[in-house]
Amino acid sequence: MKTITTIAALRTELAQGPRPIGLVPTMGALHTGHLSLVARAASKCPQVVVSVFVNPTQFDDPADLRAYQRDLDSDAALAEDAGATILFAPDAGEMYPEGFATSVTVTGPLTETLEGAQRGAQHFHGVTTVVTKLLNIVAPDVAYFGQKDAQQALVIRRLVTDLNLDVKIEVLPTVRDEDGLALSSRNARLSAADRDKAIMLHAALQAARQAARSSDDPMQLRTAALDTLARAEVEPEYVAIVDPQNLSPVSHVNGAGALVAIAARIGGVRLIDNLVIEPSKET
């Protein structure tokens, strides 16, 4: 595996290798969740680019950006083990040289609700701009994303459709620790006590799933999730039961199914998680 830091060198390297090319965009601090995407890409593509770029424009909280874990040597070893052929690790000057003045924005509820409402739509504008740049730089056949960031995956699908980008988007399931906690680079910042609280996000999602077995009413699902969080003294930023395709509120779970999405700040660490409830087969 090669580590490459400039766009020109990356393009030269990719042009010499075979297709298909797979791209796994990340912000580094790689864990088994990221590596599941890399392994999937490697099973399909002879060239697999893992990008590691802590994109400053998508952080709404400067403290979160400062605290974001960076360890390129460890990332390189893990990415290589999982089957990456190139680690692309540009610095901010390479991605946003002086005079940079363009933004790619997906507008409307997809970027303005949930994470967009909490962090500001600017967060997703940062994501869509950097992902567009990465897609143009790498020109992958397939780009891999995690369901852990369900809203982000929808926003990127919208972006790719609307701008006719010639890439297939594959979204892979959330990888969890044994206790259910969704793997996240931010988990390393949780104290032991906070980690115990953090696993309640998953418990709340399970409570919503359980409620969906006996009720089609999204309010019942939301109440079940909120009660679980309240018992653990976790105050969520939001618990939303929405349409898994467009994030609009749902009146029945059994129509299009439902995405249950949760965000909470625990011990100063902001965590998100979600699950999709499929519509019941009987209806």
34 among known catalytic residues: yes
Please report whether residue 149 would count as binding ligand AMP according to CB under 6 A: yes
| 146 contacts ligand AMP (rule: CB under 6 A) | yes
- Binder among 111, 113, 128, 185 for ligand AMP (CB under 6 A): 185
CA dist., res. 232 & res. 234, Å (int): 5
Q: Is residue 26 at the binding interface for ligand AMP, with CB under 6 A as the rule?
A: yes
128 binds ligand AMP (CB under 6 A): no
Which range of residues in 64-72, 168-176, 215-223, 261-269 is near ligand AMP by CB under 6 A?
168-176
Q: Does 22 bind ligand AMP (CB under 6 A)?
A: no
Instruction: Please state the closest distance from residue 125 (CB atom) to ligand AMP, in A.
Output: 16
Residue 182 engages ligand AMP in binding (rule: CB under 6 A): yes
Q: To the nearest whole angstrom, how small is the minimum distance from the Cβ of residue 30 to ligand AMP?
A: 8
Near ligand AMP by CB under 6 A: residue from 53, 88, 124, 145: 145
Query: Residue 174, interface with ligand AMP (CB under 6 A)?
Result: yes
Question: Could you please report the per-residue DSSP string of the chain?
Answer: -EEE--HHHHHHHHHHS-S-EEEEEE-SS--HHHHHHHHHHHHH-SEEEEEE---GGG-S-HHHHHHS---HHHHHHHHHHHT-SEEE---HHHHS-TT--------SHHHHSTHHHHH-THHHHHHHHHHHHHHHHH--SEEEEEGGGHHHHHHHHHHHHHTT-S-EEEEEPPPB-TTSPBP-GGGGG--HHHHHHHHHHHHHHHHHHHHHHH---HHHHHHHHHHHHHHTT--EEEEEEE-TTT--B-S-TTTT-EEEEEEEEETTEEEEEEEEEPPPTT-
Least Cβ distance, residue 127 to ligand AMP (angstroms): 9
Give the separation between CA 17 and CA 25, rounded to whole angstroms: 19
Q: Determine which residue in the list 34, 119, 125, 133 makes contact with ligand AMP, applying CB under 6 A.
A: 34
Decide if residue 121 touches ligand AMP (CB under 6 A). no
The distance of closest approach from Cβ of residue 78 to ligand AMP in the complex, given in angstroms and rounded to an integer, is 12
Q: Of 50 and 253, which has the nearer Cβ to ligand AMP? A: 50
Q: Which residues contact 12 (CB under 8 A, 6 or more apart)?
A: none
Active-site entry in 34, 123, 125, 202: 34
Give me the least distance between CB of 53 and ligand AMP, in Å please. 9
**Are 257 and 245 in contact, with CB atoms under 8 Å apart?**
no
Give the residue, chosen from 148, 197, 202, 222, that forms a contact with ligand AMP under the rule CB under 6 A: 148
Question: What are the structure tokens assigned to 153, written together?
Answer: 């995956």
Stretch that binds ligand AMP, among 33-41, 82-90, 94-102, 106-114 (CB under 6 A): 33-41
Known catalytic residues? 34
Contacts with ligand AMP by CB under 6 A lie at 26-27, 33-34, 36-37, 145-146, 148-149, 172, 174-175, 182-185
